Amino acid sequence: MSRTVSIITSVIAVMAIGLLPRASAQTGKPLSCDAPEHRQFDFWLGDWEVMTPDGKPAGRNSITLELKRCVLHERWSGAGGMKGESFNTWDRTKKQWHQTWVSDDGSLLLLDGTFQNGVMELTGASVASGSQTLNRIRWSSLADGGVRQHWEVSSDGGKTWKTAFDGRYRRSKPAH
C-alpha cells in the first residue's frame, strides 16, 4: 500500500511542477509573450481570402493568436482542397521566429527567421525524392491592409530562386 501511495505522490508532484508558471532566470518573474518581438507577426492575424497575383482564388486562411498570445496558429484551406496548419512563435532563446507547417498530404516544413524592415522572412530546407530544396517565405503588409506571402524555392543551394507561391491576402467579409 505504501508503494502505491509513493507512486501516486510522485505522479502528483511531477504534475504540479508542470503546472507551475515558468520564470525568467534573470528576474524570477513568470515568462510572458508580451515583448515587442512576440507581436512582430500580428499583422498576419485574421480571416483571409487569398488570391494569386492574377486575381484567381488560391484559398482561405485563418490566423489566430493562441496559447496566452504566444502562438500564431494558421489554418489553410487551398482552393484545390489541400489543408494545412502552422504554428508560429518567437523563440526567445534563439532570438528568432519559428514555424512548423504540416499538411494533409503528410508534408512537414520547419522554418526559422526574422522580422526586418516590415518583412517576416522564414527559411528552411525540405527533402523530397532524395533532393534537398531550400524554402524562403516572406510575408509583408500591403498598403490596403492586406498581406503578401511570397514563397520561393531553390534547388541549387540558394544560387537561384523560383516562385513556388505568391499570394495576396485580403480580409474576408464578415458573414451577415
Give the CATH number, domain containing residue 130. 2.40.128.20
Residue 15 lies in a domain: no
Give the pLDDT band of residue 127 (cuts 50, 70, 90). Answer: confident
Contacts of 115 (CB under 8 A, 6+ apart): 37, 40, 41, 97, 121
Residue 4 lies in a domain: no
**pLDDT value for 28:** 58
Q: How would you classify residue 34: left for phi > 0, otherwise alpha for psi between -120 and 50, otherwise beta?
A: alpha
Residue 27 lies in a domain: no
Q: How many domains does the chain have?
A: 1
Per-residue pLDDT tens for 11-39?
444 444 444 445 444 555 567 898 999 99
* Cα end-to-end distance, the chain, whole Å: 62
Q: How far apart (Å, rounded) are the C-alpha atoms in residues 151 and 166?
A: 6
Which residue range(s) make up the domain with 154?
36-171
Residue 6 lies in a domain: no
Phi then psi for 138, rounded to 5 degrees? Answer: -120, 135
Residue 78 lies in a domain: yes
Give the pLDDT band of residue 130 (cuts 50, 70, 90). Answer: confident
Residue 167 lies in a domain: yes
Residue 30 lies in a domain: no
Residue 11 lies in a domain: no
Closest CA to 96 of 75, 124, 73, 76: 124
